[in-house]
Amino acid sequence: KDEKDEDMKTGSCRQESMMVAACKGLGGGKMEIPDGYPKELDTRVLPYAIEIWSDKVTARYIGAGNHANDHGSVRTDLHIPTAQSVYYFEVFIKNAGKKGNIAVGFSTAEFDLSRQVGTHARSWGYRCDIG
């Protein structure tokens, strides 16, 4: 079987890499997300070197990773509500790849998806290599 097909069938164990709005309840079950909150990855602008699966919550880096500027980022369908004083999100990294260069964070709508969050203007993030 194709690994991608198998991942799609495993429910809470599937890759939800970089899903900035994954709301999960205890035990890995999905909670209902209220209207006005991000629910899926934005597929209107396809990111560089990222494959977004048909469930719109699963993403996989497909770039070569040959140099320090070979990145891909995703964003959600909606921004975080500005009236929200505290916002929680969760990601599950199933496979960090050979080098494990992962960054998780936030950005503005103008952020270039070919960049890594936390290393460029209009973004804030945590990188695995520097914390």
Please state, in angstroms and rounded to a whole number, the distance separating the CA atoms of residues 124 and 58. 21
In the predicted structure, residue 15 carries a pLDDT above the cut 70: no
**For position 2, what pLDDT does the model report?**
40
Is 64 in a helix, a strand, or coil?
Answer: coil
Q: Who's near 111: CB < 8 A, 6+ residues apart?
A: 73, 75, 117, 120, 122, 123
Q: What is the pTM of this model?
A: 0.67
Angle subtended at Cα 76 by Cα 79 and Cα 93, rounded to the nearest 5 degrees: 130
Q: What is the mean pLDDT of residues 105-116?
A: 88
Q: What is the mean pLDDT of the chain?
A: 74
Rg (CA), the chain: 15
What is the model's pLDDT at position 30?
A: 60
Spatial neighbors of 82 by CB under 8 A, at least 6 apart, are none
Q: What angle do CA 76, 11, 102 make, to 5 degrees?
A: 50
Span 38-65, mean pLDDT?
A: 87
Per-residue CA distances from 41 to 2, 7, 37, 64, 122 (Å)? 23, 17, 12, 22, 19
* Lowest model confidence (mean pLDDT) among 15-24, 69-78, 108-117: 15-24
Query: pLDDT class for 18, splitting at 50, 70, 90?
Result: very low
